[in-house]
Amino acid sequence: MPSPSLEQKIATLMADAADDLDSASAGRLPPRLRHANEVGALRPLNIRDLRYGTGRARLLRILMTNACSYNCHYCPMRRDRPMPRTLLKPEELARIFAGALRRNWCDGLFVTTGIPGRPVKVMDDLITALELIRVRDRFGGYIHVKIVPGAEAAQVDRLTELASRVSVNLEAPCGATLSRIAPEKNLDVTLAALERARGRILIRRREERDGRPRDPLRPGGTAGMTMQFVVGATPDTDRTIVDRISGLYAGGGMHHAQFSAFRPISDTPMEGVRATPALREHRLYQADHLLRGYGFSADEVVFDDAGNLPLTTDPKAAWALAHPERFPVEVRTAAREELLRVPGFGPGTARRIVEERGDTLIRGLRDLRKLGAVTSRAAGFITIGGRRVQTLRWEEQMGFWSPEEEAGAYQMLYSVSPGTFR
């Protein structure tokens, strides 16, 4: 017998939750859930892998509700857009998650939500759901939850205590452009919630460093915050976005940024706006990695004349090409920081090169490949024992992507946008 598809599992999971709640209606979904399968990718449930600490966690991704009183122009869940709406109560959310855990479908939870009515009520519901999961059901694994704009300080504190990771949707790096696409949102209000959560996270981390025993409700410790941007929905440049995330990283407590390339959604005020190339989102993720893992400052990131990341070249290669005076790098003697600047060397490779070369002589590209290097990218930027190993022009070896791949592409119109809720 073929194993059930994910859709079938999800349907069963929801039916099980309904059965738990009301045995008299076994096999039937309560009214709030009846449209759950009609909302496509916005269905409240799906499962995704996440790297967490040293391992991986399969996350049950849940929208608590896809109903919303806000009217953000880019969003499929906006108030004025006709679509089936569905809602989970805190108890239902906790039971669905417990059911998924019991069946070994997931190891952790990602929960986000629309904002039907008052943000304070939504936050109360999220807190209640997390308290049920943490305190009553004694789940000590990974939970990621969104803080909604307009949350009260005490609510932010409590949610940050209960979750492994919290996130805020900044949507745009600048308040003025945000108000054009999300008239009811205020960047300062969202940033205030972010700062409140950040303060709690920093306190927790300090306590963990000072040896205070970990909270039994959250034995995995504090995994920091994330922030999310819808890229291309506003005229903000990549430089503005990179400056914003760099400023927020400087305060500590942030784990990473999430970027969603704008997709035009049918029946929204922005359905006629062109989609943002997925490659732009990809470049922003690469630039974010440079800030977080490679010791780059925002000033060092290379932008084009319009203030955007070049699409033709990845940001690390763009920096290398703009700084020929820093190359070639001699792999047998260079410091880890210099190795990190070589395209094709990641943090792990740079560390392994430094560790291994004390005992082993690095003779050629083969040795570097064994240490994790992508030598097709690195070869033009290095010497080994004073010898250049490749004479290709650097630009030639970087041509993995070309913007032409997006040129003339069919303009898709979406009914849902899977990337909206990261």
Using CB under 6 A as the binding rule, whether residue 75 contacts ligand SF4 is answered as yes
Cβ-based nearer residue to ligand SF4, 39 or 342: 39
User: Which listed range, 4-12, 66-74, 245-253, 401-409, lies at the site for ligand SF4 (CB under 6 A)?
Assistant: 66-74
Taking the least distance from each CB to ligand SF4, the nearer of 77 and 275 is 77
Residues 6+ apart with CB under 8 A from 32: 86, 87, 88, 89
**Does residue 17 contact residue 95 with C-beta atoms inside 8 Å?**
yes
Q: Does the footprint of ligand SF4 cover residue 43 (CB under 6 A)?
A: no
- Nearest-approach distance from CB 149 to ligand SF4, in angstroms: 7
Among 114, 141, 150, 253, binds ligand SF4 (CB under 6 A): 114
Q: What is the rounded CA–CA span in Å between residue 89 and residue 387?
A: 66
Nearer to ligand SF4, 182 or 187 (CB): 182
CB of 342 to ligand SF4, least distance (A): 40
Beta-ladder partners of 230? 260
Single out the residue of 33, 64, 77, 321 in contact with ligand SF4 (rule: CB under 6 A).
Answer: 77
Torsion, Cα 289 149 51 309, to 10 degrees, reads: -20
Q: How far is the CB of 340 from ligand SF4 (least distance, A)?
A: 37
Q: Kindly give, in sequence order, each residue whose CB lies less than 8 Å from that of residue 87, ignoring residues fewer than 6 positions away.
A: 32, 64, 65, 67, 116
Tell the smallest beta-carbon distance from residue 78 to ligand SF4 (Å): 4
Q: Give the integer Cα–Cα distance in Å for 204 and 172.
A: 28
Residue 233 exposed, middle or buried by CB count within 10 Å (0-12, 13-18, 19+)? buried
Question: 188-208 as b/e, with b when 16 or more CB fall inside 10 Å?
Answer: eebbbbbebbbbbbeebeeee
Residues 77, 79, 80, 82, CA torsion sign: positive
- Out of 14, 115, 245, 291, point to the residue binding ligand SF4 (CB under 6 A): 115
CA distance 161 to 143: 11
For residues 17 and 115, which CB has a smaller minimum distance to ligand SF4 in the complex? Answer: 115
Nearest CB to ligand SF4, comparing residues 34 and 85:
85
Q: Least CB distance from residue 230 to ligand SF4, whole Å?
A: 8
Question: What would the x/- binding string for ligand SF4 be over residues 172 to 191, using CB under 6 A?
Answer: ----------x---------
CB 194 within 8 A of CB 151: no
Compute the distance between CA of residue 41 and CA of residue 260 in angstroms, rounded to an integer: 15
Nearer to ligand SF4, 134 or 422 (CB): 422
In sequence order, the 6+-apart residues with CB closer than 8 A to the CB of 1 are none
Of residues 143 and 182, the one with the C-beta less far from ligand SF4:
182
- Residue 189 CB, nearest approach to ligand SF4 (Å): 12
The correct pick among 68, 178, 318, 382 for binding ligand SF4 (CB under 6 A) is: 68
Give me the residues that bind ligand SF4 (CB under 6 A), please: 68, 70, 72, 75, 77-78, 114-115, 182
